[in-house]
A and B are shown apart, each in its own frame.
Chain A
């Protein structure tokens, strides 16, 4: 943070990717706007106690040398696990079985994961039909 007479200079800057690049700069000192405008390479912004020169852009390059043979199967496994979890969240397996016994029809139903709403509805439905909910 730059300070001038103990008053901080607040700045916002944007680099526009044009030809040549333009560096949009706005500098405030308190409520006063010290500088506002676009800088081309070589231009100087006069901020009072400071001067800011936009020298330009330099091309640069980074090399990454990596060897991680085991990562691809791990990543694939992670994706498959995620898809399985998605299916688990989208579909709530519920199983209904019914059979005829000497006493009449017996209906059994269960869910494979905690679904309190289903249990509640099942009980209400049985009550409505006059059936005994297990």
Chain B
């Protein structure tokens, strides 16, 4: 029992969860509408895309990679499905297929560049970002796509269940987009926990050479990760369009930084090998709640970036310092043990000399 407690205390996720709880209490002390069902539902709804994409980014960070092209990929996906449903078909199933296939293909390109041509992830994705974003802006001229078919708009408005909102007569349901977030979380969790690929992802992130020696095919795993990330981005693109009901090619400028920041807040290490789905969920929630809280506390939007920057720096610093202190403790233990063993040797020597 004691052991479990100390394990919980030591785990990274619990630390972030504690911060999350403290910040929630502070915000709700300033504004009572924060902890209402309606507000929390809004927070979730406006961050579903961030949540889905953070799952893909988690896998990439776990292997020690990084992907800065995600914002351009989701822009491209939204533009492709926007044009597709306006010009060709408003079949919802087909729209999903097109979005997911487009996203996966772009992810596959990243994967090929990184796994087969051994281009460092940050450089490869910088390149694809520049290419994809350039093409998107050239082809759309930065113009919005409007006139989304009615049946797709109706699909985006579907809600599940009915919950009375406290303090008013309104009834709210959980938006259907939430299901896709759950799906992305469950799938990522399953892959990491129960498949060989998931084990391989952690192994590669920990130590690529030893992972290869125990038989992990790092090339194929890398290919899979970036394609899977593209797949999730495709999904997120369709979900985003169903929420916004129009396509803005410029909507995602700078979004990659937000996703990376949210995942890193959740305890994933950019050096690879450490990070979890639960941690990422907490990190994304923390990121969203800070943003929402600043709005509720009537702090000018200009302050948001400062707060996010400070939270990012302090939370990682805290983490690093904590780890260093933990390591120091370990070293001390080693020295103590060796000292005592020396002493034991000394005793043994004495005893032999006496004999």
- Answer yes or no: do A and B interact: no
Interface residues of A (CB under 8 A from B): none
